[in-house]
Amino acid sequence: MNSRWAAATVAGGAVLGVLVVVGARLAGWAVPVSLAVLAGTTAGLLAAVAARLPTTDPPPSAPVPTPEPPASASFGDLGSLRFAVETDSRDGDRFEVRLRPRLAGLTVERLWQRRGIDWRTDAGRAAARDVLTPALLELLTAPPHTLRSTPQTLLRWTRDLEDL
C-alpha cells in the first residue's frame, strides 16, 4: 500500500466517523462530532497500518553452512598431544589407535603448511620423500603395529617434526 492509499484509508475513516454521527443523531443519540471523527480517523489509521503488514511469513533464509572439522591435526593440538604421548606410548594398541594417527596428521599438516606438499596425491608423496626424514617417512608409511614407540623414537619424531 502506498501513501495515497494510506491517506485515502484515513480519510475514509474520518468520513465513516461523520456517517456514524449522522446515523446516531437520526436514531436519537447525542454523539459529539469531534469524538466520532477522531474514532473514525483512528480506525482508518489502524486499517492503513494493518494493510501494510505482511500477509504471510517471510520465506525462510538459507541455512548457514557449518564448517566441517579439518581432516588433519592442527598446531593447537600440540598441548593435548603431549599428554597423549605420555599415556599412549606405553601401550602398543593405544599408540596405533590414538597417538600414531595424530603424529601422522601433524606431519602431513606441517608438510602442507611449511612446504606446500600435499601428501594425499602421488606427486605430493614423491616430493615428500625428498623432504621427510626416514623416521617420519616410516611413521607415515609403516604398516599398523610394526612401529615400536620408545622414548627415543618419540623424541626423534618430535625433533624431526620441529625441523620440518
Q: Where are the domains of the chain?
A: 3-52, 75-163
Which H, E and C letters describe the chain, residue by residue? CCHHHHHHHHHHHHHHHHHHHHHHHHHCCCCCHHHHHHHHHHHHHHHHHHHHCCCCCCCCCCCCCCCCCCCCCCHHHHHHHHHHHHHHCCCHHHHHHHHHHHHHHHHHHHHHHHHCCCCCCHHHHHHHHHHCCHHHHHHHHCCCCCCCCCHHHHHHHHHHHHHC
Q: Is pTM beyond 0.85 here?
A: no
pLDDT tens string 110-120:
888 888 888 88
Beta carbons within 8 Å of 132's beta carbon, 6+ residues apart: 107, 111, 140, 160, 164
Grid coordinates given for 114:
611449511
Average pLDDT over residues 86-96: 71
| Residue with the three cell numbers 446516531 | 24
Decide: 139 and 103 in contact? Cβ < 8 Å: yes
Query: What pLDDT, on the 0 to 100 scale, is given for residue 136?
Result: 84
**Percent of the chain topping pLDDT 90:** 0
Whether the per-residue pLDDT at 68 is higher than 70: the answer is: no
Distance CA 66, CA 161 (A): 31
Provide the pLDDT confidence category of residue 2 given band limits of 50, 70 and 90: low
Decide: 89 and 151 in contact? Cβ < 8 Å: yes
Whether the per-residue pLDDT at 76 is higher than 70: the answer is: no
Query: What pLDDT, on the 0 to 100 scale, is given for residue 85?
Result: 66
Q: Please tell me which residue, 13 or 134, carries the higher pLDDT value.
A: 134
Average pLDDT of the chain?
75
